[in-house]
A = this chain, B = another copy of it.
Amino acid sequence: MKNKPENVENYLNTFSSKFDRNLVDLIPKSQKISSKLFDAMHYVIKVGGKRLRPIFLMEIAKILGVEKTYSFRTAASIEFIHCYSLVHDDLPAMDNDDLRRGSPTCHRQYDDATAILVGDAFQSLAFEVLADKKTHPDPGIRCSLINELAKSSGSNGMVGGQMLDLEAEKKKLDLDQILQLQKLKTGELFRFSCLASCILSEKLDEIRIFEDFASKLGLAFQIKDDLLDVEGDEKKIGKKTKKDSDRGKETLISLLGKDNAKKKSEDLIFKAIKLLERYGEKAKKLIELTDFIISRNK
């Protein structure tokens, strides 16, 4: 029997409140004469986020028997990368967004220079957290995590995807190109979130399954995001909607059509959940969260 989206949302909210309290503890204290940079870093975390990548990582960690401190710190490093990318993407030179989750974006609350530096500092912090022995006693495992995170977020990963996205404003992309763009821009970090616990538990045989799961989850997430951009409630989402269509950009919705896109996302989630059934009762929460990716309304 399916759990109601509201219940999953409550579960996610409880998770993210607790996660955020621990997340701020990882931001270094300012040892110096200025606190503006640190204030701005705290502001970005306070504005919050759905913390989807962390919750998927930590739920998979539970299934694979990873110690909570390890999965939390790895999830935190991914969220720091995600935060840095949002702060930079929001800049006037990029997407030029004034609002995120109903609050002024970092460069609107502070200024562009501060937002650039906040993003840079979050990226360093992600790797600092992973390299610390508190993340896992085995340095070989820490290096694997760092290597994977650097690749997922770098030029052939998230940053490369953002570059394609900027270029997409100037030329019409076809479906294959949009799929490629999304695979890089959001898919790569989802991929790492889903396989990190396989590395942490040294259950490398599971990587194939969770990579497959992540690719389905990431694409369904993106389709749902595009659907919300077209028909979602601006107030609930807390940022400007219809941005892509206003800019004449092709999206998964414009290329597939709304009904087909919706059907596609449902099919992807159905198949993603199928992959989890082998883990039995232990995967219950993860299955609910997977289903929530397309049932959410923000």
| A interface with B by C-beta (< 8 Å) | 27-28, 30-34, 36-38, 41, 84-85, 88, 91, 93-94, 111-114, 116-117, 119-121, 123-125, 127-128, 130-133, 138-140, 142-144, 146-147, 149-151, 153-157, 159-160, 162-164, 166-167, 177, 180, 184
Known contacts A93-B113, A113-B166, A127-B150: A32-B143 contact under CB 8 Å: no
Whether B143 lies near A131 (C-beta < 8 A) is: yes
Whether B94 lies near A156 (C-beta < 8 A) is: no
Instruction: Return chain B residues, CB-CB under 8 Å to A34.
Output: 160, 163-164, 167
Instruction: Return chain B residues, CB-CB under 8 Å to A121.
Output: 154-155, 159-160
Whether B146 lies near A127 (C-beta < 8 A) is: yes
Known contacts A123-B123, A153-B124: A117-B163 contact under CB 8 Å: yes
Q: How many angstroms between the C-alpha atoms of A123 and B150 in the bound complex?
A: 9
Q: How many angstroms between the C-alpha atoms of A121 and B152 in the bound complex?
A: 11
Instruction: Return chain B residues, CB-CB under 8 Å to A177.
Output: 33
Q: List 26 A-B contacts (CB under 8 A).
A: A28-B154, A30-B155, A31-B156, A32-B160, A32-B164, A33-B164, A34-B163, A37-B160, A85-B120, A88-B117, A93-B113, A114-B166, A117-B159, A117-B163, A121-B154, A121-B160, A123-B124, A124-B150, A124-B153, A124-B155, A125-B150, A125-B155, A127-B146, A131-B144, A139-B142, A143-B143
Instruction: Return chain B residues, CB-CB under 8 Å to A146.
Output: 127-128, 130-131, 143, 146
Instruction: Return chain B residues, CB-CB under 8 Å to A138.
Output: 139
Smallest CB separation, A120 vs chain B (Å): 5
Whether A91 lies near B114 (C-beta < 8 A) is: no
